[in-house]
Amino acid sequence: MIKIAVTGANGRMGTKIIKNILKQDDMELVAALGSPDTPLEGKDVGEVIGVGNIGVPINSAQKLAEVLKEKRPDVLVDFTRGHIATHNIKVSAECGVNVVIGTTGLSDEQLYKIRKAVEKNRIKAVISPNMAIGANVFFKVIGGVAKILNDYDMEIIEAHHKHKADAPSGTALKAYEIIAQALGRDKDDTFVPGRQGMVGERTPGEIGIHAVRGGDIIGDHTVLFAGDGERIEIIHRAHSRQSFVTGAMKAVKYLSRAPAGVVCDMGDVLGI
């Protein structure tokens, strides 16, 4: 049985992760944590997410270390916010608990701190800005196309629901990194965030990222390769958050065979 703790337990993703854990024969939810000042503290998380009492109370995020030490989960699953996830991973690593992190908006500095904590405490970790299986195939494909069409103009367009906190999305940033790497760009090279005003002619080689926000769009990503007289668009659309949850469940199971002290991604989980 894989024992799991979930942070961001009452969030859009946390709620769905918990419902899925409850459906798995080989997984057990042992702890659920909300924000530090959550008014739900002490309430049963099953009642809160509408599946009835499951005997797991929501704890304040401030009690993370205490709860991990008491409940001894095998894995912490985190879908929260960048700075919170960074702190949660550090605490989790110090408690010897492996992590699956879907939280996006992690800065290079935060990722550095996360890698250090994982390395130092020899825990196992999967971190991915997009856990959907199709999205990870999309990551594979765009790098290959960028290598072939290396002189085409490339733009990344992402669309998400109106509540999304970070922009551009973690998936769009990863798509940029993959394309930049495929083109052999300098690692300090950066993207053009949208365009406004008299920007003039497109600079050869620039890569734009455009963030659309509205309604309940779960997550669309397009990479556009435009040449003279034609264009190719490679698109991934998430129809439901279940796509991310299914990937996260695979990541949890992958941890049993993952290397310790290294941050893995969904490419490792899926073997692609």
Ligand X SMILES: NC(=O)c1ccc[n+]([C@@H]2O[C@H](COP(=O)([O-])OP(=O)(O)OC[C@H]3O[C@@H](n4cnc5c(N)ncnc54)[C@H](OP(=O)(O)O)[C@@H]3O)[C@@H](O)[C@H]2O)c1
- The residues that are catalytic are 160, 164
**What is the x/- site pattern for ligand X, positions 52-71, by CB under 6 A?**
---------x----------
Neighbour-count burial of 42, counting CB atoms closer than 10 A to its CB (0-12 exposed, 13-18 middle, 19+ buried): exposed
- The span of 6-14, 48-56, 69-77, 140-148 binding ligand X (CB under 6 A) equals 6-14
Q: Toward ligand X, which CB reaches closer, 208 or 247?
A: 247
DSSP reduced 3-state for 158: strand
Report the site for ligand X in 71-130 (rule: CB under 6 A): 79-81, 84, 102-105, 128-130
- Residue 36 as a binder of ligand X (CB under 6 A): the answer is yes
Q: Report which DSSP code applies to 61.
A: G
Of residues 125 and 154, the one with the C-beta less far from ligand X: 125
Instruction: Answer yes or no whether residue 12 interacts with ligand X by CB under 6 A.
Output: yes
Q: Which of residues 221-250 bind ligand X (CB under 6 A)?
A: 244
Give the separation between CA 106 and CA 111, rounded to whole angstroms: 6
Laid out side by side, the sheet with 192-193 consists of 192-193, 207-213, 153-160, 219-227, 230-238
Q: Report the residue number, 11 or 261, with the smaller CB distance to ligand X.
A: 11
The angle, 0 to 180 degrees and rounded to 10, between the axes of the packed helices 108-121 and 82-94 is 10
Among 14, 46, 168, 208, binds ligand X (CB under 6 A): 14
- Prior bond to 36 cis, omega within 30? no
| Alpha carbon distance 72, 3 (integer Å) | 8
Instruction: Report if residue 8 touches ligand X, rule: CB under 6 A.
Output: yes
DSSP 8-state secondary structure symbol assigned to residue 44: B
Min separation Cβ 31 and ligand X, Å: 13
What does the DSSP 8-state code read for residue 203? P
**Is residue 138 close enough to count as binding ligand X by CB under 6 A?**
no
> Which range, of 31-39, 115-123, 193-201, 257-265, touches ligand X by CB under 6 A?
31-39
Q: How far apart are CA 70 and CA 258, in angstroms?
A: 25
Q: Helices in 49-81 by DSSP H: which ranges?
A: 64-71
> Does the footprint of ligand X cover residue 168 (CB under 6 A)?
no
Among 6, 21, 27, 35, binds ligand X (CB under 6 A): 35
167 is a site residue for ligand X (CB under 6 A): no
Closest-CA residue to 29 (of 61, 11, 47, 4): 4
Closest to ligand X by CB, 190 or 240? 240
Instruction: Please give the size of the binding site for ligand X, defined by CB under 6 A.
Output: 25
Contacting positions for ligand X (CB under 6 A): 7-8, 10-14, 34-36, 38, 61, 79-81, 84, 102-105, 128-131, 244
